[in-house]
Amino acid sequence: MKNISKKTIAPVGRRQFLKSSGGAALFIGVSGLLPNLISCTDAKGMQGQLAKHDVTAWVRITEDGQITIYNPAAEMGQGSMTALPVIFAEEMDADWSNVNVEFSPQESDIYGSPGWQPGTKLMFTVGSRTTNSYYTVMRKAGAQARYVLLHSAATHWKVPIEELTTDSSTIIHEKNGKKISYGDLVPYLTMPETLPDFNDGGLKDPKDFKLIGSQIPRTEIPQKVDGSAQFAIDLRLPDMVYGVLERGALHVAKPTLNNESDILAMDGVLKVVPFDYGIGVVANTLEAALAAKKGLDISWSDAQASGFNSQKIYDVYAQMASAPEKGNTVNEVGDVGQAFRTAAKTYEADFRNDYVYHAQMEPLNAVVQVAADGQSAEVWVGSQQGPDTKLGIPDLLGIPHEAVNVHLQYLGGGFGRRSMNDFVLECGRLAKEMAPRPVKLLWTREDDVRYGAYRPLTLQRLKVSTDAQGNLSSFSHCVVGDGGNLVASGARNDHYAIPNQWVEWREASHGVRLKHWRSVGHGPNKFAIEAMLDEVAHDQNIDPVAFRRTLMADSPRALATLEKVAEISAWEAPSPEGRAKGVAFVEHGSLGTGVCEISVDRNTGKINVHHFWIALDAGVVVQPDNVKAQMEGGIIMGISSVLKEQITLVDGQVQQSNYNSYPLLRMQEVPDSIETVIIPSAEHPEGVGETATPMVAGAIANAFLKLTGKRLRHLPFTPDRVLEVLNG
Amino acid sequence: MASYSLKINGTSHEVDVAQGTSLLWVLREHVGLTGTKYSCGIAQCGSCTIHLDGNPVRACVLQVDNVANGQEIKTIEGLSEKGDHPLQQAWIEAQAPQCGYCQSGQIMQAAALLEKNPNPSREEIKSHMNGVLCRCGTYLRILEAIEMAKEKTNTTS
């Protein structure tokens, strides 16, 4: 890999941002809808101008040719610190070796990408939307920056702007043989009266891309190998104190503290703060706070989840799936009932999915400082939620939105868990009590596991029919579980030409905390769909790839991923003795088909995944190597969840508490290889972070079916369950 | 409270903390060496891996009382002068980290291996690294990086 340059990155809050912009510099920015350019040679003058225009900027150019581009998305390992600046630099025609990247200030009005509603803006790093939602935003902003530079050179040289071209941070006037670098142009910068909006063309033709699609090392990686990358948990401020909470293993149970005076008498303890669902303690040191937490004597109330046994609920769910009343319709095509009644053959199967937990390596934490007068607050946090709500802190303190300053830090994993702000609100409450001292709140791993917000437990009942030719004539998918879209996402089949389809959700509610978990409902639903397809293909004696080839006839892009993965995995070639391959397709923005090769230890029930192959169509790929890294990580997280991970509740009490009771996949269990082929495309980029994970369960179950003739229908495929199926 | 003298990355540090305080909290919150990470607190994940007299250990389960007797403590901050240890270079070349949170522990665990065994087999690497978890799933790139660093060290020495 070509190492283009080593970048420096520093997270920046709005105030720091303004402070750090001293020296000769130019900002090309956007204030509301109006572009502004601020050029000045002294820091004081610029501060004044910035204050006057309320400008925040996408880029800063200095006379030494250094270019700083501001990244508006959270960085949780998905590569936003590189992908988004690369898109901007591409259209600006910047010399990447002189580009530095910093986090943008957390201001959605300026740095947001299109939100859920037309005309709204959002800084929300979820749903694999980083590149997908910012691609056009960054291209246009980069093109506007280039236009300002062109305009300035044209004015400086007194030549028509049309005669100028750019190449790698240089403006060229071919006719007069003149060249000027972007840095040298800084003293001559002028703002055009109007800026093109690039809504109707004027952006680069993708075939002319120089940076997009090339191998550019991730800008923040050097900091992640020498320990200097700063996560919120690493923050240390003068006079800082430490907060912890004890929460129940029964979610939202109310606490009664029986020994408050004992706790307050402990060394270093400053305050006890009761919450509806827990008891907070603030102390001078982290160790004192944790000792106090351990010493809390709390009685817990009952809660909705009291009496709930997660592994026994499946019988209830199966009964719910059998009830005559329909649930909420998710998708309806044709008439499944009619197709089922006239079918040559019908199939029915239930698939089960236990709760799973995020297990991001950095436990939840935040640092909040509330001003002595309670009228402003500083928040340091690794959050996927961004500044849109300022993480609920303005409402909590009853102060205006703009009085809260969010300093975004690197996220030690997100996977959906950091799109909630429960932990930030807790820290805000403690900080309010301790104002103006900053409070660092830490969740222990035990807190993080037991008071998690899980991917919901579900049952999928699939009913499928085939016609006389063996073609699928109908596909019914009933999801039973808690959480609405959390359980329903991914249950549709938009790339399989099945004439009659029905998807419904039947609602359960248990009082267990739930949240988006990487790929959301796609994990359980794609498992059920892809496993069901192979059960039918197996019964009809049709090859699983051939079976899908027919179904994908109307979806050429999906089909291309199937054909490509069949090729690179040598699908037709027999596997070594004792091994078998399985295939699964997933759409999650991008389209991907995966093939795995597994073996099974028939004595222990342990499944080993030896290889994984993926063919992916993600539209334009900004960073190919990073997309491959996302595929590798997605597959490994998938294997981990599919083979090992399980949250269980007995009488509403979460049974797991740390990595010893909630094991993750380890180095010795990873496949020998994960190979990804990216299908070239000029289409708009689609998200890639959640496409690989949902392939895993179906691919493994299908390989298992081929290898053993038996069906795995309950996630996770733990050795005990595998043995039960093998011996059943 | 008690006073302890710790030898960390070749420098002596005096700390006043309660007896029995975890070395991890001392490093992170008292000394300010935050490259060593907390993740499980029970020696299950390896995020807090440091070297104690050259051996890879989990700082979370060590008490300060037991490491203040002249032992050499090395953290990620002390692994190399400029972040250019062969493993750190290989980590960048392989583009190993994603979120990056576990990587200090991964690198410290790997460094201890190469110091004792400059030419480990793939199976030896996997076995040695098995105690350090990565949720982003970067294991294959970590393996690649260790093998790269091994090659480089062996050809230059």
The pLDDT value recorded for residue A374 is 97
Inspect the interface and report whether the beta carbons of A634 and B137 lie closer than 8 Å. Answer: yes
The pLDDT assigned to A28 comes to 55
Which chain A residues are closer than 8 Å to B35 by Cβ?
226-228
Name residue A160's amino acid.
P
Interchain CB distance below 8 Å, A222 and B83: yes
Amino acid, single-letter form, for residue A551: L
Between CA A444 and CA A451 the distance in angstroms is 10
Picking from B28, B33, B39, the nearest residue to A362 by CB comes out as B39
Q: Starting from the edge strand earliest in sequence, which strands make up the sheet with A328-333, in order?
A: A328-333, A500-507, A472-481, A458-466, A345-353, A714-715
DSSP character at residue A257 = E
Contact list in A for residue B138 (CB cut-off 8 A) is 629, 632-633
The CATH number assigned to the domain with range A14-212 reads 3.30.365.10
Q: Is A237 on the interface with B (CB under 8 A)?
A: no
Taking only the tens place, the pLDDT of each residue in A28-63 is: 554 433 345 554 444 455 555 544 433 337 888 888
Residue A119: predicted pLDDT: 78
Q: How far off is chain B from A234, nearest CA to CA, in Å?
A: 6
On average, the pLDDT of chain A sits at 91
pLDDT, position A110: 74
Nearest CA in chain B to A74: B99
User: How far is A618 from A554, CA to CA, in rounded Å?
Assistant: 18
Which of the residues B38, B50, B125 would you substitute to probe the A interface, choosing the one with the greatest number of A C-beta atoms within 10 Å? B38
Question: How many CB atoms within 10 Å of residue B63?
Answer: 13
Contact yes or no for A288/A268 (Cβ under 8 A): yes
> Can you give the pLDDT at residue A12?
36
- All residues of chain A having their beta carbon less than 8 Å from the beta carbon of residue B37 are 231, 233, 361-362, 412
Please tell me which residue of chain B has the smallest CA distance to A2: B93
In the chain, the amino acid numbered B138 is T
Residue B9 half-sphere exposure toward CB, CA atoms < 13 A = 15
CA distance B157 to chain A (A): 23
The shortest C-alpha distance from A630 to chain B (Å) reads 9
Question: What pLDDT score does A105 carry?
Answer: 77
pLDDT tens figures, A574-604 = 999 999 999 999 999 999 999 999 999 999 9
Q: What is the pTM of this model?
A: 0.94
Predicted ipTM > 0.85: yes
Inter-residue contact A510 to A308 (CB < 8 Å): yes
Euclidean distance between CA atoms A272 and A79, whole angstroms: 40
Q: Looking at the partner chain, which of B21, B42, B47 has a beta carbon nearest the beta carbon of A361?
A: B47
Q: Which of A1, A291, A659 is the closest to B93 by Cβ?
A: A1
Domain A326-356+454-727 annotated CATH 3.30.365.10: yes
Tokens 């994984």 correspond to: A612
Q: Would you call A215 an interface residue with chain B, using a CB distance cutoff of 8 Å? A: no
Amino acid, single-letter form, for residue A681: S
Instruction: Provide, as residue numbers in chain A, all residues whose Cβ is less than 8 Å from the Cβ of B101.
Output: 231, 360-362, 412-413
Q: Is A636 in CB contact (< 8 Å) with chain B?
A: yes
Q: Is B122 exposed, middle or buried (0-12, 13-18, 19+ CB in 10 A)?
A: exposed
Which CATH code, of 3.40.50.2020, 3.10.20.30, 3.50.50.60, 3.40.640.10, is assigned to B2-78? 3.10.20.30
Q: Is the peptide bond before B86 cis (omega within 30 degrees of 0)?
A: no
| Cβ neighbours of B143 in A, within 8 Å | 667
Nearest Cα to A522, choosing from A378, A403, A687?
A687
Residues 328-387 of A with CB under 8 A from B: 359-363
Cα radius of gyration rounded to whole Å, chain A:
28
Q: How far is A534 from chain B (nearest CA, A)?
A: 28
A670/B139 Cβ within 8 A: yes
DSSP annotation of A418: G
Instruction: Considering only the beta carbons, identify the residue of B79, B95, B130 that sits closest to A666.
Output: B130
* Integer Cα distance of B30 and A286 in angstroms: 10
B86-156 CATH: 1.10.150.120
CA-to-CA distance for A34 and A25, rounded, in angstroms? 20
How far A668 CA sits from the closest chain B CA (Å)?
5
Q: Is A558 within 8 Å of A566 (Cβ atoms)?
A: no
CA distances (Å), origin A293, targets A242, A519, A543: 12, 35, 58
Of the candidates A77, A670, A674, the beta carbon closest to that of B99 is on A77
Topology alike, domains B2-78 and B86-156: no
**Where in chain A do CATH 3.30.365.10 domains reside?**
14-212, 238-303+361-450, 326-356+454-727
Per-residue pLDDT reduced to its tens digit, A160-213: 999 999 999 999 999 999 999 999 998 888 878 778 889 888 999 999 999 999
Among A128, A226, A284, the strongest candidate for a mutation testing the B interface, having the largest count of B CBs within 10 A, is A226
Q: Does A416 touch chain B (CB under 8 A)?
A: no
Task: State whether B95 and A1 contact (CB < 8 Å).
Answer: yes
Chain B contact probe: residue of A361, A445, A628 with most B CBs at under 10 A: A361
Residue A40, pLDDT score: 44
DSSP A419: G
Chain A residues within an 8 Å CB radius of B127: 668
Give B83's contacts in chain A (Cβ within 8 Å): 222, 225-226, 228
To the nearest whole Å, the CA of B107 is away from the closest chain A CA by 8
pLDDT, averaged per 10 consecutive residues of chain A (728 residues), comes to: 34 37 46 45 50 56 87 92 96 96 80 81 83 92 91 96 97 97 87 83 94 96 98 98 97 98 98 98 98 98 98 98 96 96 97 98 98 97 84 96 92 96 97 98 98 98 95 97 94 96 97 97 98 97 97 98 98 97 97 98 98 98 97 98 98 98 98 98 96 98 98 98 97
Chain A residues touching B60 at Cβ < 8 A? none
Hey, what are A116's tokens? 């859920």
Query: In CATH terms, is domain A238-303+361-450 a member of 3.30.365.10?
Result: yes
Distance from the Cα of A612 to chain B's closest Cα (Å) equals 12
The structure tokens listed for A463 are 């009913």
CB contacts, 8 Å: A218 with chain B = 95
Judge whether A33 is closer than 8 Å to chain B, CB to CB.
no
Q: Do B135 and A637 touch (CB under 8 A)?
A: yes
Specify the pLDDT at position A31.
43
How many CB pairs below 8 A link A and B?
179
Nearest C-alpha of chain A: how many angstroms from B4? 16
Q: pLDDT at position A163, please?
A: 98
d(CA A608, CA A643) in angstroms, rounded, equals 9
> Tell me, what's the pLDDT at B156?
65
d(CA A635, CA B33): 33
How far apart (Å, rounded) are the C-alpha atoms in residues B99 and B138? 10
DSSP β-bridge partners for residue A650: A653
- Annotate A103-115 with DSSP letters as a single string: EPPS-HHHH-EE-
Low-confidence ranges of chain B (pLDDT < 50): none
- Please answer whether residues A413 and B135 qualify as being in contact, where contact means their C-beta atoms are separated by less than 8 angstroms: yes
Q: Give the closest of A76, A234, A442 to B99, CB-based.
A: A76
- Please answer yes or no on whether B135 and A287 come within 8 Å at the CB atom: no
pLDDT at A240: 98
d(CA A76, CA A99): 21
pLDDT at B153: 80
Contact A706, A583 (CB under 8 A): no
Which chain A residues touch B50 with a CB distance below 8 Å?
none
CB-CB: which of A220, A228, A636 is closest to B137? A636
- The 10 Å CB-count burial string (b at 16+, else e) for A47-58 is eebbeeeebbbb
Which chain B residue lies closest to A658 (C-alpha atoms)?
A: B40
B101:A362 CB<8 A: yes
Question: Where do we find the tokens 């020498």?
Answer: A226
Closest CA–CA distance from residue A225 to any residue of chain B (Å): 6
CA distances from A519 to A126, A134, A314, A491, A689 (A): 10, 20, 22, 12, 8
A360: Cβ–Cβ under 8 A, 6 or more apart, which residues? Answer: A411, A412, A413, A414, A415, A417, A418, B99, B101, B135
Residues from chain A contacting residue B104 (CB–CB below 8 Å): 227
B20, closest residue in chain A (CA to CA): A287
Quote the minimal CA–CA distance from A411 to chain B in Å.
6
Domain boundaries, chain B: 2-78, 86-156
Q: Give A-chain residues touching B140 at CB under 8 angstroms.
A: 632, 636, 670-671, 673-674
